[in-house]
Amino acid sequence: MRLLVLFIISAVFSYGQQSQIVDFKELKADLSIFPKEKKVSGTLHYTFQILKKTDSVYLDAKQMSFSLDNSSKTKANLSANEDKIWIKYPFEEAKEYSIAFNYEAFPKQTMYFFEDQTWTQGQRKYTSHWLPSIDDVNDKIIFNLSITAPAEFEVIANGSLEKESPVFNDQKQWQYTMKSPMSSYLVAIAMGNFKKQTETSSSGIPLVYYYTQNNESKVEPTYRYTKELFDFLEEVIGVDYPWENYKQVPVRDFLYAGMENTTLTIFSETFVVDSIGFVDRNYVNVNAHELAHQWFGNLVTSESSEHHWLQEGFATYFALLAEREIFGDDYYYWKLYQSAEQLTELSEQGKGEPIVKAGASSLTYYQKGAWALHILNERVGNLAFKQAVQNFLNKYKFKSATTDDFLEEITLLNGDDLQLSINWLMCLLAKANPYTIKRLIVVISL
Ligand SMILES: [Zn+2]
């Protein structure tokens, strides 16, 4: 996610222990959205593997009503409290189960209804306000959403659109499917009077640019350089884009700059500009940042908030590398200098903090994280850095990882300078900031 305004992430994200007992594998959801009633309902078919014998498992679900569907293979007992639905059954170890149930929700947050648009915002564990799912980022699920909604709208969700079909009462159904699993906070729906234009990346991935009616002339300036950013990131990261397609949708009153839902970035319509507006304010940085998250965050997710920089530091750094491709070296170093100034100020106020920390400030996760990667890349060289990043992504793909997991990939590579680099990186990561970024710049340039 890229914030419009820097703020302190104060929440300490906890993560549940249920992942030791059950592994939710796949969801087939038949949803209906009622924008006027501000309601979502549906039938969910969940498949899961029991890892340890138990008499109950749960899904996170905030203030919803439920009933078992007749088609359910597992005839479990369902009960709900404020924030969970409990599935009770004598589950046996190493067996796979599937359950089908109906639900209805009137989301108070996370799914937002406007007269002409409905959209969701799931980070970091808010999807359970509109879709029974798993708040713990470590249980990754293949999400297949079919959505029925008023036919006048376009409905966009994660993955590939397999089918669009009319149903009764001026309604239409959109069927989306995914091939690979992801954390629940990355599930998204955007619905509205959208039109689209499509381009294809050099590797053949469809890049879909949505826009609202009357904004056709702003498509090019708004999405300018998207293909370049995409092609560059695939090349510099060295791992193929891991998903079916990449769609971007601007929505009204969005709370952030952008959110990297898998295959479906939702961003603030304040970034929709014409060629003149582009000069003052454009989407390029947010565009690159959310795209980088498709690898750093979506493919490999940080195991807990302590390691959040693995998502935000990486997305910030790789966005900066992509922008360097377009705007040049001066831009790159100017941006680094600016964030060094901000970090120094934080440090001088006595608020400097290590990168690996639960509840650190976004300046720490984003900018200091990016600085750590810049330093590491300078020290080990582009080739070794790229190799380590590639190994890290391949080893933990569709899973979650910690800072140690990343550092291990760096350590596994040979290089004379390497131990020194790791020492410097560890200073940034582990200690409570005895070195300001400015001192580090001096040291690096020596
Ligand atoms: Zn981000």
Q: Where does the pLDDT of residue 255 fall: very low under 50, low under 70, confident under 90, or very high at 90 and above?
A: confident
Instruction: Give me the pLDDT at residue 9, please.
Output: 33
Distance 288 CA to ligand 1 centre (A): 10
391-413 tens-digit pLDDT: 999 999 999 999 989 988 888 87
Distance 79 CA to ligand 1 centre (A): 36
Domain final residue pick, 244, 268, 294: 294
- Please check whether residue 12 lies inside any domain of the structure: no
Distance 291 CA to ligand 1 centre (A): 9
Into how many domains does the chain fold?
3
Distance 318 CA to ligand 1 centre (A): 11
Distance 41 CA to ligand 1 centre (A): 30
Looking at the fold, whether 286 and 304 belong to one and the same domain comes out as: no
State the alpha helices, DSSP H only, in 197-328: 219-222, 226-237, 275-280, 284-293, 309-327
Instruction: Give me the pLDDT at residue 432, please.
Output: 43
337-367 tens-digit pLDDT: 999 888 888 888 888 888 888 999 999 999 9
Looking at the fold, whether 200 and 171 belong to one and the same domain comes out as: no
Distance 6 CA to ligand 1 centre (A): 12
CA nearest neighbour of 222 among 250, 245, 195: 250
> Which residue, chain included where needed, has tokens 């067996």?
95
Q: Is the pLDDT of residue 444 over 50?
A: no
pTM for this one? Answer: 0.92
Looking at the fold, whether 124 and 211 belong to one and the same domain comes out as: no
Q: Is the pLDDT of residue 383 over 50?
A: yes
Looking at the fold, whether 91 and 62 belong to one and the same domain comes out as: yes
Looking at the fold, whether 276 and 324 belong to one and the same domain comes out as: no
Looking at the fold, whether 246 and 326 belong to one and the same domain comes out as: no
Instruction: Give me the pLDDT at residue 177, please.
Output: 98
Looking at the fold, whether 255 and 347 belong to one and the same domain comes out as: no
Instruction: Give me the pLDDT at residue 169, please.
Output: 86
Q: What is the dihedral of CA 337, 349, 123, 132, to 10 degrees?
A: 160
116-171 tens-digit pLDDT: 999 999 887 789 999 999 999 999 999 999 999 999 999 999 999 999 999 988 99
Distance 163 CA to ligand 1 centre (A): 31
Domain final residue pick, 133, 162, 183: 183
Instruction: Give me the pLDDT at residue 445, please.
Output: 42
Check whether the bond before 439 is cis (ω within 30° of 0): no
In this prediction, residues 99-125 reach a mean pLDDT of: 93
Looking at the fold, whether 177 and 253 belong to one and the same domain comes out as: no
> Which range, of 14-18, 19-23, 396-400, averages the lowest pLDDT?
14-18
Distance of CA 229 to the CA centre of its chain: 18
Distance 236 CA to ligand 1 centre (A): 18
Looking at the fold, whether 148 and 51 belong to one and the same domain comes out as: yes
- Please check whether residue 1 lies inside any domain of the structure: no
Cα 259 to Cα 49, 170, 337: the distances in Å are: 30, 31, 26
Distance 424 CA to ligand 1 centre (A): 24
Instruction: Give me the pLDDT at residue 73, please.
Output: 96
3-state secondary structure of 207: strand
- Please check whether residue 32 lies inside any domain of the structure: yes
193-228 tens-digit pLDDT: 999 999 999 999 999 999 998 999 999 999 999 999
Domain of 368 in residue numbering reads as 300-445
Please spell the DSSP secondary structure of 291-321, one letter per residue: HHHTTBTTTEEESSGGGTHHHHHHHHHHHHH
Q: Is the pLDDT of residue 5 over 50?
A: no
- Please check whether residue 210 lies inside any domain of the structure: yes
CATH number of the domain at 308, please.
1.10.390.10
Token duo for residue 282: 């454009």
In this prediction, residues 374-381 reach a mean pLDDT of: 85
- Please check whether residue 258 lies inside any domain of the structure: yes
Q: How far apart are CA 391 and CA 393, in angstroms?
A: 6
Give percent of the chain with pLDDT exceeding 90. Answer: 77
Cα 423 to Cα 410, 418, 419, 430: the distances in Å are: 12, 9, 6, 10
- Please check whether residue 16 lies inside any domain of the structure: no
Distance 327 CA to ligand 1 centre (A): 21
- Please check whether residue 348 lies inside any domain of the structure: yes
Looking at the fold, whether 175 and 200 belong to one and the same domain comes out as: no
- Please check whether residue 3 lies inside any domain of the structure: no
Distance 2 CA to ligand 1 centre (A): 4
Distance 416 CA to ligand 1 centre (A): 33
Looking at the fold, whether 271 and 176 belong to one and the same domain comes out as: no
